[in-house]
Amino acid sequence: MNHLSINYPTVSVEPESWFLEGKNITKSEKRIKDLGNVFANEAARQLINPDLLVYNVQAHLPVKEGTPGGLYFGTTIIQPGKVGNEYFMTRGHFHANADRAEYYWGVQGEGMLILMDEYRTTWAEKMFPGSLHYIGAKIAHRVANTGETPLIFGACWPSDAGHNYEEIELQGFSARLLEIEGKPFLK
Ligand code: M6P
Ligand code: ZN
């Protein structure tokens, strides 16, 4: 950077859609066909259009993955919907570097942040526009859309946190967020 220069930022967040624009941005999508063994009712998942979008993630990765001391920023948009009676949700993960924390915050829509500690105690926090969630170290996290509109949430995590999906793939969370008589319950 040049001394005394006044510059535009290299990235921006579109105020309505929360889409990220600019440098060092990655975009990924998860469709029904990508989410095998994520939901309890695998037979129900197989009846849904495989190309149906469940969620997409955009992230600003200004430093190389694994760099100590850096931060990443992400926007996740989860579509409304269910597989059987289980809300559309993210895969969920622990951090590979287990002692790394993360912030999530609600931007648009209604949802639930599902958290599980290393002893497999599972609980949830309601997400809504303006909700702020500090996810401590060693806590697995996933988000479900409990509303009828897209759920948008922001995230900020250390660039050396990494993702540990294996544990969730093998063991799952110890509870699932299900819709029962029109309301969400952890079961
Ligand atoms: C947030 C961050 C990302 C994560 C994304 C989707 O944006 O925590 O690191 O990838 O949510 O969650 P998952 O990867 O568990 O599906
Ligand atoms: Zn995380």
pLDDT of residue 176: 98
pLDDT of residue 133: 99
Q: What is the widest separation between alpha-carbon atoms in the chain? A: 62
CB 95 within 8 A of CB 137: yes
Residue 43 sits at φ, ψ, to 5 deg, of: -65, -40
Q: Whose CA is nearest to atom 8 of ligand 1?
A: 155
174 occurs within a structural domain? yes
User: Looking at the CA of 89, which ligand is closest?
Assistant: 1
45 occurs within a structural domain? yes
Q: Whose CA is nearest to atom 6 of ligand 1?
A: 90
Order of strands, sheet of 86-87, starting from the edge strand that comes earlier in the sequence: 82-83, 86-87, 177-180, 183-186
Q: How far is CA 162 from CA 14, 15, 60, 149, in A?
A: 26, 28, 14, 30
164 occurs within a structural domain? yes
3 occurs within a structural domain? no
Is the pTM higher than 0.85? The answer reads yes
Domain count, the chain: 1
Q: Comparing C-alpha atoms, which of 149, 147, 102, 110 is closest to residue 126?
A: 110
User: Looking at the CA of 95, which ligand is closest?
Assistant: 2
Cβ 74 under 6 angstroms from ligand 1: yes
18 occurs within a structural domain? no
Instruction: Give the 3-state secondary structure of residue 135.
Output: strand
Q: Whose CA is nearest to atom 2 of ligand 1?
A: 155
pLDDT of residue 85: 98
CA of 6 to the centre of ligand 1 (A): 33
Residuewise pLDDT in 10s, the chain (187 residues): 899 999 999 999 999 999 999 999 999 999 999 999 999 999 999 999 999 999 999 999 999 999 999 999 999 999 999 999 999 999 999 999 999 999 999 999 999 999 999 999 999 999 999 999 999 999 999 999 999 999 999 999 999 999 999 999 999 999 999 999 999 999 9
60 occurs within a structural domain? yes
How far is Cα of residue 128 from the mean position of the Cα atoms in its chain? 14
Range of the domain at 171: 25-186
CA of 46 to the centre of ligand 2 (A): 28
Protein residues near ligand 2, an ion, with CB under 5 A: 102
Cβ 111 under 6 angstroms from ligand 1: no
104 occurs within a structural domain? yes
pLDDT of residue 116: 98
Q: What residues form DSSP beta bridges with 160? A: none
CA atoms within 13 A on the CB side of 2: 4
pLDDT of residue 9: 97
8 occurs within a structural domain? no
User: Looking at the CA of 96, which ligand is closest?
Assistant: 2
Instruction: Give the CATH number, domain containing residue 166.
Output: 2.60.120.10
pLDDT of residue 41: 98
